[in-house]
Structure 1
Amino acid sequence: MFYCGIDIAKYKHEATVIDEAGTALLDSISFANSKEGCEKLLALFERLGVSNDGLLIGMEATGHYWLSVYGYLLEQGFEIKVINPIQSEAFRKMYIRQTKNDRKDSFIIAQIMRFGQFSATNLSEETIVALRQLSRYRLALVDTCGDCKRRVIALLDQVFPEYDALFSDTFGVTSKEVLSQYPTPEDLLTVSTRKLSNLLEKTSHGRLGKEKAEQLKAAAANSFGVSFARDAFAFQIRQLVEQMEFLERQVTELEAQISSLLKQTGSYITTIPGIGDTLGAIILSEIGDIHRFNAPNKLVAFAGLDVRVTQSGEFTGTRQKISKRGSPYLRRAIWLAASRAAFCDPILSEYYQSLRARGKHHLTAIGAVSRKLCNIIFAILSEDRPYEAIPPKEIRHHSADFTM
């Protein structure tokens, strides 16, 4: 059996081939991140007399640069393992201390393959890859939309500071329509009460009307906002609202696509309280093959929800925080799911309330619920069964307290 370690980079990769004794067959080679570059690697395998079924290839999940070479080699019939860079870093510290270069890295990855000391990502299902891509893209769109909202609020604080108290949701449908047409106090004062009432009644489906229109105009007449450069403020607010609406339409389309793909997996992930199609897709796609984790605590660590102890000399910190290592997307999704499950699932809600009764901060309690939710996710995916109201005995244990 032979082992090949590939150190991934943006433009060029480095590869080392070793035998069962751990001896490099030749110096590492550099090959471009292209079809021609991969053909150079295949030529190396042929020159060494290494067959597809006698070679195990390993590479790190470095950004997105590994996907192309992974897909190419997979099509050629090779067995490939994709490992988390955290694993190779730990192995590097044990195997060769204080070394960091491409040649050493590819050799170390090959050694990790030889010893089998890794948990690999199984990307055999194209649907999982598609879910991961779309889910991460959705998070990016949501974050961009959030940035637009913060910028609108900053502008309104300057030009119309009273506006925040006029609607329960500044970015609700009715409020956005008002902002897109009349973004400044001066704009509101130019429109008649009747016309503004008709706009409010139409967009709110009859819930708002003349009374709200009069309230808006009164606030505009007595606004303490800046009156200079108002055209610049109005222009920015209109464009930002337009951009938000466009992003929200894209997110809606994305969520429909994600939901459709998630149903194709047949996963029971959405039977867990607090996890809908959107969060379920993120969790499932970021985890990949659950069988690469041999225990729930490994999944907890992969999500970066494990406890980090602060210690220096004889001092040991009493306030424990999560490590935040591993997948930030998975951690974010589980945290959001735990924030919901803590109030909708009887078991997790009871656990959350017990922590709060002991004087734990809300975030500390949600952190503990997140850890317990990780254990539930591990059981559901490992056993491929729907969630039950009473969890299995093996996951009924006290979770350590930690904060985000």
Structure 2
Amino acid sequence: MKSYEDTSDLVIHDEQDGIAYLESRIQRLRMAALEMIKSDTEIAQQFNNILAAKGIGEVSAIAMLGELIILPETLKANQVSRYAGLDVRLNQSGSSLNRPGRLSKAGNAYLRSALFMPAMSAVRHDPNVKAFYEALVARGKKKIQAMCAVMRKMLTGIWACLKLNTPYDSSKLFSDEHKKLALKQSIYINP
């Protein structure tokens, strides 16, 4: 016997009502955020610049803009990566001198989570990002390490877009060398 067969219809309908209520609140808040963004021309331009990136949708762009717009414009890209917790920290003490670096995760978890799904989507749909990701995996990086590197690189590009007020362009971030390497690897794998 399955557990949901014993569940009362009242409980099921109450949970469905609760889910519908939360979804309507989420939609209302998203629409309010979009209205606030549209009311300020500078922020609206920054929002559109972020949306130019493949893989970034409205929800992710709202979250990223909300977390990045409060930062001082004088920060450098590596400082923004550190703020997001996407910097690599070496763990060397005592006899463990050769341990690999790990993501610090000491920064803004909201920004990291807003970048994760867009990075996954960009790896699938943006040839520049895909080539970079595949080159890292071919060099022996774990897939999650390569994904975090993509997130860090995308954050660097988004920060540049906000500072320079230009649309996101992945070809400026990811070199053609990665494409050549990925092409070379695909020839070796699929002769």
The TM tier, using the shorter chain, reads 0.7 to 0.9
Between the aligned partners of 2:123 and 2:35, the Cα distance in structure 1 is: 27
**1:159 and 2:3 matched:** yes
Instruction: Please state how far the C-alpha of 1:326 moved relative to its aligned partner.
Output: 2.1
Residue 136 (structure 2) aligned to one of 355, 370, 376: 355
Between the aligned partners of 1:365 and 1:242, the Cα distance in structure 2 is: 40
Between the aligned partners of 1:287 and 1:381, the Cα distance in structure 2 is: 9
Structure 2's unaligned 5+ residue stretches are 176-191
Question: Who is 1:297 aligned against?
Answer: 78
Question: Who is 1:364 aligned against?
Answer: 145
Question: Who is 1:249 aligned against?
Answer: 24
Q: How does 1:87-166 map to 2 (within 5 A)?
A: 158-160=2-4
CA RMSD after TM alignment: 2.5
Instruction: Please state how far the C-alpha of 1:236 moved relative to its aligned partner.
Output: 2.8
- 344 and 260 in structure 1: CA distance in 2 versus 1, 3 angstrom threshold: farther
Between the aligned partners of 1:277 and 1:374, the Cα distance in structure 2 is: 16
Residue range with higher mean Cα deviation, 284-293 or 345-354: 284-293
Residue 37 (structure 2) aligned to one of 248, 253, 262: 262
Instruction: Please state how far the C-alpha of 1:361 moved relative to its aligned partner.
Output: 2.8
Residue 346 (structure 1) aligned to one of 127, 138, 141: 127
Structure 1 residue runs of 4+, over 4 Å off?
Answer: none
Q: Higher helix share goes to which structure?
A: 2
The answer to whether the 8 Å contact 2:84/2:107 transfers is yes
Instruction: Please state how far the C-alpha of 1:293 moved relative to its aligned partner.
Output: 4.2
- 326 and 357 in structure 1: CA distance in 2 versus 1, 3 angstrom threshold: same
The alignment partner of 2:169 has SS state of: coil
Instruction: Please state how far the C-alpha of 1:291 moved relative to its aligned partner.
Output: 4.3
The answer to whether the 8 Å contact 1:290/1:382 transfers is no
Question: Who is 2:102 aligned against?
Answer: 321
Normalized against structure 1, the TM-score is what?
A: 0.39
Instruction: Please state how far the C-alpha of 1:255 moved relative to its aligned partner.
Output: 1.9
Q: Which amino acid is the alignment partner of residue 29 of structure 2? A: L
The answer to whether the 8 Å contact 2:157/2:170 transfers is no
Residue range with higher mean Cα deviation, 326-335 or 298-307: 326-335
Q: Which amino acid is the alignment partner of residue 283 of structure 1? A: M
- 316 and 254 in structure 1: CA distance in 2 versus 1, 3 angstrom threshold: same
Question: Who is 1:210 aligned against?
Answer: none
Between the aligned partners of 1:304 and 1:332, the Cα distance in structure 2 is: 11
The alignment partner of 1:261 has SS state of: helix
- 370 and 158 in structure 1: CA distance in 2 versus 1, 3 angstrom threshold: same
Q: Higher strand share goes to which structure?
A: 1
Residue 239 (structure 1) aligned to one of 14, 36, 46: 14
The answer to whether the 8 Å contact 1:304/1:328 transfers is yes
Question: Which protein, 1 or 2, shows the higher relative CO under an 8 Å CA cutoff with sep ≥ 6?
Answer: 2
Q: Which amino acid is the alignment partner of residue 256 of structure 1? A: M
- 250 and 294 in structure 1: CA distance in 2 versus 1, 3 angstrom threshold: closer
Tell me the number of residue pairs that the alignment of Structure 1 and Structure 2 aligns: 170
Between the aligned partners of 1:283 and 1:238, the Cα distance in structure 2 is: 35
Normalized against structure 2, the TM-score is what?
A: 0.77
Q: How does 1:66-77 map to 2 (within 5 A)?
A: none
Question: Who is 2:187 aligned against?
Answer: none
Instruction: Please state how far the C-alpha of 1:367 moved relative to its aligned partner.
Output: 0.7
Rg (Cα) greater in structure: 1
Structure 1's unaligned 5+ residue stretches are 1-156, 161-183, 185-229, 397-404
1:148-206 alpha-carbon deviations (Å, 9 max, x no partner): xxxxxxxxx9424xxxxxxxxxxxxxxxxxxxxxxx3xxxxxxxxxxxxxxxxxxxxxx
1:214-237 alpha-carbon deviations (Å, 9 max, x no partner): xxxxxxxxxxxxxxxx3x544333
Between the aligned partners of 1:317 and 1:334, the Cα distance in structure 2 is: 30
